[in-house]
Structure 1
Amino acid sequence: MSTEKRTPLDRERVADTALRLLNEVGLDGLTLRAIAKELDVKAPALYWHFRDKQALLDEMATQMYRRMVAGTVLDPADTWRERLLAMSHGLRTALLGYRDGAKVFSGSRFTGTDHAPALEANLRLLTEAGFTLVQAVDAGRTVNAYTIGFVIEEQGVRPLPGEPREGFDIEERARRMADFPLAAEAGRLLFDDYDRQFEEGLALVVAGIGARYGIG
């Protein structure tokens, strides 16, 4: 009989393993059975920690957030625009670090209160800049939703950076749509240079928030 001691199975270890496996198999292939196999345990052992896959996704999203903010210090001198931009850039970078990262994050519920300090600081900065609390929440939610939605679409074309999905050949698309020159050329803007696309869309969103609430 082996006397080797196994690392105790806990929520953090299961979530970490799931995030690692996510990059290999994607969200559709991420089953509790596959995670259990990776951990060398029986699948029922995972139900002691997670009642279902959504509960696991909640913990995975929480771990993603913890990694995203680890070592990050908010600049108290930020303007409200700078803070929204920084939040969005940080979130996109974090989500792109995982195959289907945006889908995992979308709709998940944080299992702890790790996000509360940053949320409090961001809401305070916005309200001190002239937003009401309702407006500050709406502004933050809108930027957050834009970022997650953008990355879901981005990862639909490129599951991981530098890994395009089959069927998104821009030149081939342009040939098929040769009778529609504007639509054909638009493909280069829709399915390439996602950094430029993201920055322009984010600038539009933040400018719209300022215009909507009359805050410079």
Structure 2
Amino acid sequence: MATRLDRKLVAETALGLLNDVGLDGLTLRRIAKELNVQAPALYWHFKNKQELLDEMATELYERMTAPLVAAGPDFGGGDWKALLTESCRGMRRTLLTYRDGGKVFGGTRLDNSASMRPMEIFMSALTAAGFRPHRAARAWFTVYTYTIGYVIEEQSVFPVPGEPWRDPTYDLDDRKRRLGADFPLTVVAGEEYFGDTARGFDDGLRAVIAGIEATLLEDG
């Protein structure tokens, strides 16, 4: 019996192809070939590639927020900082699983039904911690955009998911040889930016959350 073609199946198939072809190589024609259908069949479900990316992002968001939705406001042990930290770490882990995952996710329009429940949990937890609603929204959006932006930059350094291969442009020893004599502080900056990106993510996230506490939680 033939598999029923729907938006979710197409999005899942597209995500499965990402590590092979990347975002630039991901076309409706390539996805149709993987599904063993003609390309026009996909246009019943998606008018263009952007609509497909929106659906792929929605699928990714459902996956990355599944632990949050299952636990509710108790995710992170009931501590708002832990909730933001663990949510962003989970988002990063999910996006890094896919080649160009940050670019696929960034700037897309999520299906409302997928995003409303997680957002309500974030807002409930943050307002319970003392944030005013508008500031709670700003707090989450700040760490959310930090995470997406960081992953996009991180994947330019390590483009192959699960592999330690580094783009030669960011080779630290080469940068030190070329730049060390004239730009020693720039070399140090490069070591921080392009070295241990996992540690760098956590360091930056702590700084962002500390700033949120200092500027958005004030006045209750």
Unaligned runs of 5+ in 1: none
User: Which residue is 1:31 aligned to?
Assistant: 27
- Residue identity (%): 50
1: CA distance, partners of 2:102 / 2:134: 25
Return the offset for 1:109. 1.4
Kindly provide the CA deviation profile for residues 28-67 of structure 1, in whole angstroms up to 9, marking residues without a partner as x. Answer: 1111111111112111110000011011011111111222
User: Which residue is 1:88 aligned to?
Assistant: 88
Return the offset for 1:112. 4.5
Return the offset for 1:124. 1.1
User: Which residue is 1:163 aligned to?
Assistant: 165
Q: CA, structure 1 residues 6+163, in 2 after alignment: closer, same or farther (shift >3 Å)?
A: farther
User: Which residue is 2:121 aligned to?
Assistant: 121
Return the offset for 1:121. 1.6
Q: Secondary structure at the match of 2:205?
A: helix
User: Which residue is 1:46 aligned to?
Assistant: 42
Q: TM-score, normalised by structure 1?
A: 0.92
Q: TM-score, normalised by structure 2?
A: 0.90
Contact 2:139 2:216 in 1 (8 A): no
- Higher relative helix content: 2
- Say if 2:204 is the partner of 1:208: no
Contact 2:92 2:151 in 1 (8 A): yes
Return the offset for 1:98. 0.6
Return the offset for 1:75. 5.2
2: CA distance, partners of 1:118 / 1:39: 31
Q: Which residue, 70, 73, 81 being the options, matches 2:71?
A: 73
2: CA distance, partners of 1:197 / 1:48: 43
Q: Which runs of 4+ in 1 moved over 4 A?
A: none
User: Which residue is 2:11 aligned to?
Assistant: 15
2: CA distance, partners of 1:6 / 1:46: 15
1: CA distance, partners of 2:168 / 2:26: 21
Q: CA, structure 1 residues 112+209, in 2 after alignment: closer, same or farther (shift >3 Å)?
A: closer
2: CA distance, partners of 1:120 / 1:110: 15
Return the offset for 1:87. 1.3
Return the offset for 1:19. 0.3
User: Which residue is 1:110 aligned to?
Assistant: 110
More moved, 146-155 vs 126-135: 126-135
Return the offset for 1:95. 0.7
Contact 2:135 2:217 in 1 (8 A): no
Return the offset for 1:115. 2.5
Q: Secondary structure at the match of 1:164?
A: coil
Contact 2:73 2:121 in 1 (8 A): no
Amino acid at match of 2:27: T
User: Which residue is 1:60 aligned to?
Assistant: 56
User: Which residue is 2:174 aligned to?
Assistant: 172
Return the offset for 1:214. 4.3
Unaligned runs of 5+ in 2: none
Contact 2:130 2:217 in 1 (8 A): no
